[in-house]
Amino acid sequence: MSDLKPVRGTHDILPEEHRRHRHVGDTARDIAALYGYEEMSTPIFESTDVFRRTLGETSDVVTKEMYSFEDKKGRSLALRPEGTAGVARAFIFALRSEPLPLKLFYQGPMFRYERMQKGRQRQFHQFGIELLGVADPQGDIEIITLGAHILDALGIADKVTLQLNTLGDAESRQAYRGILVDYLEGFRGELSKDSLDRLERNPLRILDSKDQGDKAIVADAPKLSDHLNAESEDFFVAVKGGLDAAGVSYEINPTLVRGLDYYCHTAFEFVTDTLGAQGAVLAGGRYDGLIEAMGGPSTPGTGWAAGIERLALMIAAPPPPVPAIAIIPVGDDAEAEAQAQAARLRHAGFTVDLGFSGNLKKRLDRANRANAAAAVILGPDELAKGAATVRDMETGEQTEVPLSSLQDHLARYR
């Protein structure tokens, strides 16, 4: 039987947890709609090249965390580790003729083989926003404001801090890269193995290292913000001014980076320490070069993704399911009428529980355990009168009600 357990890093999402997930997703959908975003979905698996091109051949996700496999024709496929790459691929092949800007959101499972921790599994779920076709700071302002709005609607805005940084444009990053490498070369013997690897191919990622020795070195490193050209400075000033105007507070974090060349300008994370070690619950940034790097037309983009499991752990318990109306037939002759009444009530919008077997006492006990609001009892005497006995499950009070007015009588229990 142990072979039939869920695979390590996955788990069954049972009803109580699912209510939390659904509340997070429904809230995010409702807020996204206020900003004009529309839902789309991409396949759960894609050609591995979709992620190699977008995440980088040498990234940890591609080399260590991605679930890759060959199909029956020998094609290399991968379970999606994130959502932006699929949306970019969909833009190139299905949406490029649509008028810009495109405002899109998605929700669904992602897969990464990584160390598990609170709120993070190897199969996890994300809600994501992508804004394509807006090169101006207003795009960054909108998506960050949208993220803050969702967190506020979930009642957890006071549990998160928005960390903000600028990566500058390509010219600024290239100039800074050389300055940073020159500084880090002086610590080559002290850097972690991962950072030594990154020193050659992706030095900006060292700024985000979790290694304590690396952190001490990085603390005194030159700041990218001190090496921005005028255009990049103006862009960041506009983003900060827009967030100030929208009432979205933030902290500047100069070590917050995105390592690949197609990322630029704004990078941000909403972080929390309520789940243990500080971690991001919603993060994103600008990726103006991504679609072009995938072979599509030059198209600016900005977006973010949020971890549904982590948000679900932070919110207050959502309302329980609406209490049901239990319909209890007494005797075989009442079964057909019970089915008919259940169908009518469900079509009228009532939640109905129709017990499948047992005598009157057992079915009333079941209704009580299920927290039913009322029980509708249909026995021989009731059928003869064209009526039902309605029992209030909280007070125990019973009332005989004509079947013709049953819905009106039960309206109080909606």
Asked whether residue 214 carries a pLDDT value surpassing 70, the answer given is yes
Closest CA to 85 of 59, 51, 60: 51
User: Residue 45: which pLDDT band, with cuts at 50, 70 and 90?
Assistant: very high
Name the residue ranges covered by the structural domains of the chain: 2-169+229-314, 325-413
For a pLDDT cut of 70, what percent of the chain falls above it? 97
Q: What is the pLDDT of residue 70?
A: 95
Label residue 173 exposed, middle or buried (CB < 10 Å: 0-12, 13-18, 19+). Answer: buried
The 10s digit of each residue's pLDDT in 93-144 is 999 999 999 999 999 999 999 877 776 799 999 999 999 999 999 999 999 9
The token pair at 60 is 């940890």
Asked whether residue 38 carries a pLDDT value surpassing 70, the answer given is yes
Neighbouring CB atoms inside 10 A of 198's CB total 22
Give the position of tokens 């070690």. 277
Q: Is the pTM of this model over 0.85?
A: yes
The token pair at 160 is 């998160």
Neighbouring CB atoms inside 10 A of 195's CB total 23
Mean per-residue pLDDT of the chain: 92
The 10s digit of each residue's pLDDT in 157-193 is 999 999 999 999 989 988 888 898 889 888 888 888 8
Average confidence (pLDDT) over 382-391: 95
User: Residue 343: which pLDDT band, with cuts at 50, 70 and 90?
Assistant: very high
The token pair at 68 is 């890759």
Q: Under CATH, to which class is 2-169+229-314 assigned?
A: alpha beta
Asked whether residue 320 carries a pLDDT value surpassing 90, the answer given is no
Which residues pair with residue 323 across a beta bridge? none
With vertex at residue 273, the alpha carbon angle to CA 10 and CA 304, rounded to the nearest 5 degrees, is 65
Q: What is the DSSP letter of 239?
A: H
Contact residues for 58 (Cβ-Cβ < 8 A; gap 6+): 197, 201, 202
Calpha distance 121→118 (Å, rounded):
8
Average confidence (pLDDT) over 211-231: 89
Contact residues for 334 (Cβ-Cβ < 8 A; gap 6+): 378, 379, 380, 382, 383
Average confidence (pLDDT) over 252-272: 88
The token pair at 399 is 């009332």
User: Residue 208: which pLDDT band, with cuts at 50, 70 and 90?
Assistant: confident
With vertex at residue 248, the alpha carbon angle to CA 245 and CA 250, rounded to the nearest 5 degrees, is 115
Closest CA to 85 of 25, 146, 114, 126: 126
Residue 169: φ, ψ to 5°:
-90, 180
Q: Under CATH, to which class is 325-413 assigned?
A: alpha beta
